[in-house]
């Protein structure tokens, strides 16, 4: 079964209540929350006060994607904002192993995110500690970018790494960026478990139906 995590980056922040209500009613499995600091990525999105509001309004788990430098500084604050999953970028974190343990000790699921240019091999000595790997299929920072096809090869090699270690079902693969019905189908075929989608969902006149289409992949 494909899981879907719609990205609120493409929601209407003037009507966030309405958009979160829609996600609560929809088949979305979780809500993807993109936090950007203007340093790790060339954009700034939103921070903890907005996350707290999202937590109050949402009835589904929060999948928090931190595009910030040194994310280990914020483990407890992210937990206090209700995150179920804390995604940190391998490229932004010097002591990845330590921070992964801190995330789990704080009671959240730990996920490591890789930029398009970071090889999957980087995870071979930490994969067993991870609940999820998030592969970026665009360079992080903006919604509505074009899917980078090479990510499919990365999904396949990560699938092999996970399955060969006996971690199937324990360590999941999420993919983020440029996901639509076509790229989503290719990603699922390559071995992705969870599809993040922003523009594809929120640009549709019927976002609930768009989510249902991704769920059916």
Active site residues: 34, 176
In angstroms, what is the C-alpha Rg of the chain?
Answer: 16
SS3 label, residue 87: strand
The CB-of-93 to ligand DX5 minimum distance in angstroms stands at 16
Q: Are 93 and 72 in contact (CB under 8 A)?
A: yes
Q: Which does 198 bind (CB under 5 to 8 A by kind): Zn ion, ligand DX5, none?
A: ligand DX5
* Listed residue (91, 38, 90, 83) closest to 58, CA to CA: 83
For residue 99, state whether it binds ligand DX5 (rule: CB under 6 A): no
CA distance 215 to 210: 9
CA distance 193 to 212: 15
- x/- track of binding to Zn ion for residues 57-86 (CB under 5 A): --------x---------------------
Q: Which is nearer to Zn ion, 98 or 175 (CB)?
A: 175
Q: Which is nearer to ligand DX5, 101 or 208 (CB)?
A: 208
Residues binding ligand DX5: number (CB under 6 A): 22
Q: Are 51 and 77 in contact (CB under 8 A)?
A: no
Only segment of 4-12, 48-56, 102-110, 119-127 that touches ligand DX5 (CB under 6 A) = 4-12
Q: Which does 191 bind (CB under 5 to 8 A by kind): ligand DX5, Zn ion, none?
A: none
For residue 174, state whether it binds ligand DX5 (rule: CB under 6 A): no
Q: Which is nearer to ligand DX5, 123 or 148 (CB)?
A: 148
For residue 176, state whether it binds Zn ion (rule: CB under 5 A): yes
Six token digits for residue 187: 């990603």
CA distance 180 to 183: 5
Q: Where are the alpha helices (DSSP H) in the chain?
A: 16-25, 48-57, 75-80, 96-105, 151-164, 181-190, 199-202, 207-215
- x/- track of binding to ligand DX5 for residues 133-162 (CB under 6 A): -----x-xxxxxx-----------------
Q: For ligand DX5, which residue of 19, 29, 131, 176 counts as binding (CB under 6 A)?
A: 176
Residue located via tokens 């639509």: 180
Residue 64: φ, ψ to 5°: -95, 120
SS3 label, residue 49: helix
For residue 62, state whether it binds ligand DX5 (rule: CB under 6 A): no
For residue 33, state whether it binds ligand DX5 (rule: CB under 6 A): no
């Amino acid at each position: 079964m494909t899981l879907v995590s719609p990205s609120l980056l493409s929601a209407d922040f003037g009507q966030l209540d309405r958009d979160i209500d829609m996600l609560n009613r929809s088949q979305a499995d979780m809500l993807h929350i993109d936090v950007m600091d203007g340093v790790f990525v060339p954009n700034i999105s939103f921070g903890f006060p907005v996350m707290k509001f999202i937590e109050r309004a949402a009835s589904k788990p929060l999948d928090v994607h931190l595009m910030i430098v040194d994310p280990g500084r914020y483990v407890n604050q992210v937990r206090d904002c209700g995150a179920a999953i804390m995604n940190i970028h391998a490229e932004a974190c010097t002591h990845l192993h330590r921070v992964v343990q801190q995330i789990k000790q704080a009671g959240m699921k730990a996920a490591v995110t890789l930029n398009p240019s970071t090889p999957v091999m980087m995870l071979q000595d930490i994969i067993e500690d991870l609940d999820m790997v998030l592969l970026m299929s665009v360079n992080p920072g903006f919604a509505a970018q074009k899917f980078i096809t090479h990510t499919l090869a990365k999904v396949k090699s990560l699938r092999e790494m996970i399955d060969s270690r006996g971690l199937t079902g324990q360590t999941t693969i999420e993919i983020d960026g440029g996901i639509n019905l076509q790229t989503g189908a290719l990603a699922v075929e390559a071995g992705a478990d969870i599809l993040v989608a922003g523009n594809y969902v929120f640009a549709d006149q019927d976002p609930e139906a768009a989510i249902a289409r991704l769920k059916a992949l």
